[in-house]
Structure 1
């Protein structure tokens, strides 16, 4: 008797469309999640149980088209499958592990982020839903919603702490790829902002420059001392 394997009846990732053919109409929708991902790539460099997708389709139902958030995090999954990497995030190939956080960056006009997509992510079981709207003036530009009993509750905090992820998230003015503006960043439990790759490189360069200056100053002091000893008729032995 043949055993029924449900997974065998579901389409694999390579057979599914990996684009919804909708162009990204706002550069921030690309840069903001990439900044968050690049910070994680350093902070979690030695972890292999996470994945951050940017503008990637999430297939949650074989009968439905993919939903494509601007960014999302999944925990407890393989960071890399193989050299081909993921073309899409397919729940039935990820042991049905739903993303723990989904991020939507609102473009020039809302695209259902506050209602339609919010309902879809709640139905999917996404624990945290973050919406960043840089155009807002009267209401918070960053909202993070927490799923409780099937409904989202708006969280507060500066930064907003996400205990299941072990990080906080907030907005702050800074520079990324030479662009100075308000960005989204990760924070530690003490509320300290985690450095971007560019900032870490600058910090390393500053430390290296300080060490070089310290060595050069030590060499100059040694040369002055040697000259003073020679003037006193003493040949230095260093």
Structure 2
């Protein structure tokens, strides 16, 4: 096999997992837009600039006409600016930290100075390192994660952090959401697992209660009392 760097198949899984948890928790509104590798456009000095972040969340966008597929998005012209933009670092340099102020512009410069995205997250899957930058006074300032590798994003009313575990047959670090009480927003398979566990526990409880009832009935019969007469 050649030793040339290739894109990681983990990137689309990371993006899908972030959306899945929000969707199952009922936190995605019909007016919101969550997309992966989706063109975000802006016109600067009469030139169209397009960047495709690995994950983007936009609170409110204008609805499209029936049958029309959204193929790109232009902030202000079509709705809100992105609230959160995430980039997942691959083996190939993608300019995630680039502050190039000239066309076609670095991603960092584009998100910070042109779109002015409030939250910029950069995740390094290889090292499980999550960098969070918040737009303060027109510049991105790095935010510190807590001891649990999570950070509170008030704009989302959620914690974002790194979770070690298995999904899609891959055991690695995943980006996960937690609510304000510290409860993990579950993936579909996890929710099904909890539901199965609940059903098993209920069935076991029913069996235990049935056994107790039978033992009590037998004791009553030993005392000459017909439990059916009670």
- Return the TM-score normalized by structure 1: 0.78
Pick from 52, 64, 72 the counterpart of residue 48 of structure 2: 64
CA gap of 1:78–1:35, structure 2 versus 1, over 3 A, is: farther
Shift of 1:224: 2.2
Deviation per CA, 1:208-236: give whole Å up to 9, x if none. Answer: 11111101111121122223323333222
Q: Does 1:121 align with 2:111?
A: yes
Unpaired stretches in structure 2, ≥5 consecutive residues: 1-5, 99-105
Of 171, 177, 182, the residue aligned with 2:162 is 171
2:129 alignment counterpart: 141
Looking at structure 2, the residues matched to 81 and 101 of structure 1 have their Cα atoms a distance apart, in angstroms, of 26
Does the alignment pair 1:185 with 2:176? yes
Aligned to 2:73: 89
* The 10-residue stretch of structure 1 (112-121 or 38-47) with the greater mean CA deviation from structure 2: 38-47
| Helix, strand or coil at the partner of 2:51 | coil
Residue 140 (structure 2) aligns with: 152
Alignment of 1:215 with 2:203, yes or no, is no
Aligned to 2:102: none
4+ runs of 1 displaced by more than 4 Å?
78-85
SS of residue in 1 equivalent to 2:30: coil
Which of 70, 73, 91 matches 1:108?
91
Match of 2:13 among 31, 35, 42: 31
Between the aligned partners of 2:169 and 2:145, the Cα distance in structure 1 is: 28
For the Cα contact (< 8 Å) 1:51–1:79, is it kept in 2? no
Shift, 1:72, TM fit = 0.6
Q: Is the 8 A contact 1:146 1:152 kept in 2?
A: yes
Gaps of 5+ in 1: 1-23
User: Which residue matches 1:195?
Assistant: 186
CA contact (8 A) 1:50 1:79 kept: no
Partner of 2:50, secondary structure, is coil
Superposed displacement of residue 56, structure 1: 1.6
Structure ranking higher in strand proportion: 2
Distance 1:232 1:166, change over 3 A: same
Q: Output the TM-score relative to the length of structure 2.
A: 0.80
- Mark the CA change 1:210 to 1:80 in structure 2 (over 3 Å): closer, same or farther: farther
The change in CA–CA distance for 1:79 and 1:225 in structure 2 (over 3 A counts) is: farther
Q: Are 1:48 and 1:78, in contact at CA under 8 Å, matched by a contact in 2?
A: no
1:134-193 per-position Cα deviation (integer Å, ceiling 9, x unaligned): 234xxx821011112321111112211111121121112022223221111112234443
